[in-house]
Structure 1
């Protein structure tokens, strides 16, 4: 799987169809209130931000989307069955959300309570027209409106592009390969007259209840917050700032640039991974070390401070579940000049191990308890925050077919006040997708950092030095 802007993909033109999920019930609010279900802290915060933004007429469009290819002549009935199977399989996609009594709750439509309606969207006569359609269509996903997933296909005589987009309320970066695998696998089965056979999809609502049970009573004096408190004391802030100049004004939001490119080819990644293992580390630790060293080389500090998403799926049934299974945790380590590869790798490993010991503290809970009062109700992070994310798509469901399916993930946001990096690995190599503010200084900073990071990674892979 490749994470790339949908506007940078060369899709062949074709005829566009949408399958819209609708409720077979008379109303989306027929069940009594006592049957409403718990939501996660991420969902509650995300929904509240969307409500606040709409009230202030300050909406930011964003989506998490996916596309993949089906070769040959399409069995349209089998694809419709596969899409319906998919939304019935994952309860979070069938949830409706209500803000009641100060918190967010949800109701679940039963699998048989949803159906799909086919909409003919006409033809796209060029690749550019199709890219523009998909980008605009994906933006129709709305946190405050149901359904929270949009799906369709671009059908040609020789192939079909399946597309879908979700609101973050019901998805994360690892949900996209799950969706691709579910739909593609179900389509292959239905087209042969068989029923799909897939691993159990766990309940995101069960995960929500477990999270609330573990953390509901947490107060500001809880010892589980000690990691966050120490991080804040050393760095002086709850949100670690991105250390390089992006040319932004405090409190302002800007249009974004979304680009992606390869950092290392597959053989270079394998060489780097071997260096990391020899230093008793893992590839993502080496990548994180390289980011910290590169920031320092570009004028940043001797200590890397940032936040990084941590998957909460584990190895059970949640590994095949659509949902927002992501916590965000702080991490810091020294990248001082003169330290060896082994020393910095040791710093990263120790910092990661320490972070993992406290990873059961939900980010939103820590935010509300520990951040300055003026930051507890803000809609967006207050300034450019230092953010690091890494995914190895080779370990996701269906990865052996990603190249055949031409599986892609598309993440986008219309405005920002900073820069975010999503590093990802597939069979072809190591890539970086970044979304950053569209200012002259940010373009310069990102380009310079990208060059330094690439050189640093190449040197690490070649000689085990920085």
Structure 2
């Protein structure tokens, strides 16, 4: 959020206002259980609060719309959008420490615009929005979102902050197309024609039912156990020092670097295809090379995010449709990127077979043997790759200045997102804000970029420098 400085304008929020209390009072108990990600997120939030730290549990989609904003038409579009995604009409309360879901009746839900003031400085708008997001969004409150807009004569900037309990990165990406189309349909008096969509609330119930069929003696649990044992009983972390004392954490900071442009990405992809692999396999092979060069690690081990939108009804649904899977492959004994690449791709394919089983359920099964979730205040480190070109309306992202931003939390590890769009591929890391972590994360990213570009330009790269 610190890097977000919008153009000045009039700040508007769409809110249920005083009606929110009545909506909550009329809400009903929903028997649908939380997903395993939701349950973990609530525990993480509560553990940090108990430790005196209020974490920012929200993620925000930001984009511009052309022309002067019609706030009333936008209110109608937002009401349609929220009703389209039932998870946004739910929240959780703790019953003897266990999260219980409650649901607002869709017919009771409404929004109205409220002007918060005109601001001459973008930094003042940012600070006001961050205060709004941090003070009002958490997994045990309804509504679990704040929607705001910055009005100007020639354009408007829309912001959708949603608690992570009800969204993920790809869900945020889809907000742009859906809200834009619904808003334009309101202005034109037509239908937006959006595809049918399922409910994440239903997904949660099906996930818990599937997980209940997994026993501790299943082959999948055995695979996870071997992986965890190879990692020393804890999740695999960043290979370099982060400048933290044992058990220490620090406020997180984000660092983004452009890895290569569209032409270089295409060339890198072609090199991967020639070796019978894919772009994602090439990325992990490169991380394996970086770990070996900088930290001497002979094997790559990491947790990778994969989406769980395995049915058509989930494809454009709002919710937390991701899972963590274990990826490992040998790096030592290979001479070049092209030799290592098939091993990395095979490791991803093997890991994908475990994607049906929620990571947090696995951690619960293995809790007596392994410490995969040793500190409830911490988040498990992971690596994510998203090809944004597959998202609806992705060719409009650049003109709309679409972006995803997050708030402040404390971390003890590094989280990596590699995103490819129509113009560039970027490396983003969130890490503890220490001098040592900054130096080592930047050094790591620079080496990753160097190897990727060498493959893009030469078709291959050596493992050793």
TM tier, smaller: over 0.9
Deviation (angstroms), 1:147: 1.0
* Corresponding residue number in structure 2 for 1:378: 375
Three-state SS of the structure 1 residue aligned to 2:238 is coil
Per-residue CA distance 1:344-363 (angstroms, 9 max, x = gap): 11111111111111211110
Contact 2:385 2:417 in 1 (8 A): yes
Aligned-pair CA distance for 1:61: 2.2
- Partner Cα separation in structure 1 for residue 23 and residue 149 of structure 2: 28
Structure 1 181/359 Cα, relative in aligned 2: closer, same or farther at 3 Å? Answer: same
Q: Match for 1:148 among 134, 144, 147?
A: 144
Contact 2:288/2:300 (8 A) holds in 1: yes
Kindly state the Cα deviation for residue 458 of structure 1 after the two structures are TM-superposed: 0.5
Instruction: Tell me which of 285, 310, 314 is aligned to 1:289.
Output: 285
Give a deviation string over 1:394-441, Cα, whole Å, max 9, x none: 111221322232211113432111211111011111011211111111
Gaps of 5+ in 1: 1-5
Q: For each residue in 1:345-389, what CA deviation from the matched residue of structure 2 results, as whole angstroms up to 9, or x when unmatched?
A: 11111111111112111101111111457665731348xx65211
- 1:152 is displaced (CA, Å) by 0.9
Distance 1:275-1:143 versus aligned 2 partners, 3 A rule: same
Contact 1:70-1:160 at 8 Å conserved across structures: yes
Question: Relative to structure 1, is the Cα distance of residues 31 and 146 closer, same or farther in structure 2, using a 3 angstrom cutoff?
Answer: closer
Equivalence for 1:77: 72
Structure-1 residue corresponding to 2:263: 267
Map 1:122-137 → 2, pairs under 5 A: 122-137=117-132
Q: Is the 8 A contact 1:303 1:336 kept in 2?
A: yes
Instruction: From the superposition, tell whether residues 29 and 333 of structure 1 become closer, same or farther in structure 2 (CA, over 3 Å).
Output: farther
**In 2, Cα distance between the equivalents of 1:449 and 1:373?**
29
Q: CA deviation at 1:241?
A: 2.5
Count of aligned positions: 458
- Is 2:10–2:151's contact at 8 Å kept on the other side of the alignment? yes
Change in Cα spacing, 1:231 to 1:361, as seen in structure 2 (3 Å) is same
Deviation per residue, 1:77-132 (Å, 9 max, x gap): 22111111111111000002123365423122232221113332112212332333
Conservation of the 8 A alpha-carbon contact between 2:250 and 2:412: yes
- Report whether the alignment pairs 1:313 with 2:309: yes
Change (3 A) 1:227 1:392: same
2:82–2:89 contact (8 Å) kept in structure 1: yes
Q: 1:31 Cα shift?
A: 5.5
Structure 1 residue 314: Cα displacement:
2.5
Question: Alpha-carbon deviations, 1:321-363, whole Å to 9, x = none?
Answer: 0000111111111222643323211111111111111211110
Q: Deviations over 1:143-184 (max 9, x none)?
A: 222111110100000100011111110010101111111111
d(CA) in 2 for partners of 1:51 and 1:422?
26
1:199 corresponding residue in structure 2 = 195
RMSD of aligned residue pairs (Cα, Å) = 2.1
Cα contact 2:234–2:370 (8 A) shared by 1? no
| Partners of 2:71 and 2:113 within 8 A in 1 | no
- Which whole-Å deviations, capped at 9, do the CAs of 1:5-46 have from their partners, x for residues lacking one? x4334521100011124656735254564x432221111121
Instruction: Name stretches of at least 5 consecutive residues in structure 2 with no aligned partner.
Output: none
Where does residue 3 of structure 1 map in the other structure?
Answer: none
- Greater displacement, 155-164 / 117-126: 117-126
2:215 maps to which residue? 219
Q: Identify which of 43, 53, 56 aligns with 1:61.
A: 56
Query: Which residue does the alignment assign to 1:246?
Result: 242
Indicate which of 385, 393, 413 corresponds to 1:390.
385
| CA deviation vs aligned residue, 1:216-272 (integer Å, no higher than 9, x gap) | 243322333122012123232241122111111121110122122311011110110
Residues 150 and 409 from structure 1, CA distance in 2 versus in 1: closer, same or farther, beyond 3 angstroms?
A: same
